[in-house]
Amino acid sequence: MTSNIFSKYDQDFVDAMATKLRLNREKNKRNLTADEKINQLIAEQKKGIGEFRLSLIREGLKEFPDLDPLTALKMMEEFGA
């Protein structure tokens, strides 16, 4: 019977790689343009948001590049827009 328990070294390595991948994804996401972020939304999301709101979100993403489109939508809904 083999053990599925990682050694401390192996677990530290797994944790370090997970952190590295997460940071890399976050960095790549930050480097996307507003249009690229909008294009990553699926068709159903775009349809549900609507063209007018998408145009507002696109302008917001240009001013605040770290903003996520879905977070921007949530913020708009909280303000009643």
Is pLDDT of 1 > 50? no
Binning the chain into helix, strand and coil, the percentages to the nearest 5 are: 75, 0, 25
What is the tens place of the pLDDT at every residue in 26-59?
A: 787 777 888 888 888 888 988 988 999 999 999 9
Rounded Cα gap, residues 4 and 46, in angstroms: 43
Delimit the domains of the chain by residue range. 8-79
Is pLDDT of 4 > 70? no
Q: Compare 60 and 5 and report the one with higher pLDDT.
A: 60
